[in-house]
Amino acid sequence: MKEIKRIAVSTGGGDCPGLNAVIRAVVKSSVNLGWEVIGIQKGFEGLLHTDMAKSLHPRDVAGILNIGGTILGTTNRGNPFQLEVKVGNKTVTKDVSNDVVKGFKKLKLDALIAIGGDGTLKIARDLAMKGIPIIGVPKTIDNDLEATVITFGFDTAVSNATDALDKLQSTAESHERTMVVEVMGRYAGWIALNSGIAGGADVILIPEIPFDIEKVCRKIKERYKEPKKYGIVVVAEAAKMKEGKMFTKECKDKGRQEPLLGGVAQYVATEIHDRTGVETRSMVLGHLQRGGTPTTFDRLVATRFGCAAVRLVQKGEFGRMVCLRPPEVLSVTLEEAVSKMKSVPLNCDSIVSARQMGISFGD
Ligand code: F6P
């Protein structure tokens, strides 16, 4: 096995609370092994522009444990296997993955720890096949990776959403209004489900359970028969109508492969207003969910993931992603890591309990 002297760390995809905690753990535990750590800027893009790489010392990561975002910068564009480049006045897609491999060699790296969601991990899998000794660390507020029980960032996003619901309750109650709150989560309903239950929602709409707007309105009408007349609806950004419609927004980001979800809360609010006569407002919580201080839980998982990734490098077990299988942090192959999305199971305890509490899923 090759002796490890110099490793790199990168963050890719949407930012997520806890990224800095992983970077810190990687730097501190690697330096304690006598290794040098290089910070790659803006995901894999940083391996195409090696002059952006910089050495990370414990002093560079001091005080970042409780800070959201990532000190390395990130992007959810720039897949090196399908990079959009300008040729004359045309934009064409080019495979520059060999240049990424060259960048890795130029920096004289022995390993790369790539922190990211499913997009980043798929690229990591493909770069591993090109010979880069790579370890993946899963991050996403969406918690939608089947291979790990939880991703860091999710707990913070749910806490932020729950906090918003608590605040909206007093204004809804004062005006006898219904508030419809759109939360993130991409094609999985985890953030909506967990924050909806914790925030006392009357209706929770998730992508896994297509909703019937008439049933949503029926629940709101019932809710207004109670002494406290207000309603809270939490809707996941990818919640779809029983007719199959999902709401997306125009996105002008060049090179973005994923559609930008959004608009469902406004639709639901308008329908409630029109069909029930109840004064209704919608709001999109958006990126507020991803911002701010990571929770204790997320800092802990992030730190454990960073240290576990370094242990995998030490053992030479490349092409793998660390994952939480409580109480252990284990690892799976990158292929397994990206093979299955984790949706909310329809018969899971949270859904059953929510229904017992009278929460409607619009079905
Ligand atoms: O995957 C994380 C996430 O926040 C999703 O929940 C959301 O759909 C998407 O990213 C938003 O992307 P962007 O930050 O590019 O607007």
Instruction: Write the pLDDT tens digit of every residue in 303-318.
Output: 999 999 999 999 999 9
Secondary structure element (H or E) that encloses residue 260, with its range:
strand 260-261
Four-CA torsion 286, 290, 295, 298, nearest 10 degrees: 130
Average pLDDT of the chain to the nearest whole number: 96
pLDDT 10s digits, 68-86: 999 999 998 889 999 988 8
The confidence score (pLDDT) of residue 258 equals 82
- Residue 144 appears among annotated catalytic residues: no
Pocket test for ligand 1, best of 120, 121, 260 (most atoms within 8 A of CB): 260
Give the mutation target among 16, 76, 158 for probing the ligand 1 site: most ligand atoms within 8 A of CB.
76
Active site residue: 118, 142, 144, 298, which one? 142
What DSSP letter does each residue of 10-22 carry, written as one string? EE-SS--TTHHHH
CATH 3.40.50.460 domain span(s) along the chain: 154-291
What DSSP string describes 120-160? HHHHHHHHHHTT--EEEEEB-TT--BTTSS--BTHHHHHHH
Segment holding 282, helix H or strand E = strand 280-284
pLDDT at 253: 82
- CA 237 to ligand 1: nearest atom: 8
Q: What confidence category does residue 202 fall into, taking pLDDT thresholds of 50, 70 and 90?
A: very high
Adjacent-strand bridge partners of 111: 7
Q: What spacing in Å lies between the alpha carbon of 14 and ligand 1's midpoint? A: 6
Half-sphere exposure of 4 (CA within 13 A, CB side): 23
Spacing, Cα 269 to ligand 1 middle (Å): 22
Give the pair of three-digit tokens for residue 70: 């990532």
pLDDT at 348: 98
Q: Nearest residue CA, atom 13 of ligand 1?
A: 14
Q: Which atom of ligand 1 is nearest the CA belonging to 13?
A: 1
Q: Whose CA is nearest to atom 8 of ligand 1?
A: 186
Place of tokens 């690892």: 331
Q: Return the pLDDT at 103.
A: 97
Question: What would the two tokens of residue 89 be?
Answer: 């006045």
Does 56 score more than 80 pLDDT?
yes
Fold of 6-152+294-337: Rossmann fold (3.40.50)
Nearest to 335 by CA among 118, 143, 78: 118
Non-local (6+) Cβ contacts of 150 within 8 A are 143, 301, 324
pLDDT at 238: 98
Which CATH superfamily, name and number, covers 154-291?
Phosphofructokinase domain (3.40.50.460)
- Indicate whether 97 pLDDT > 80: yes
At 91 the pLDDT is 87
Give CATH 3.40.50.450 domain extents, the chain: 6-152+294-337
Q: What is the 141 CA–ligand 1 centroid distance (Å)? A: 9
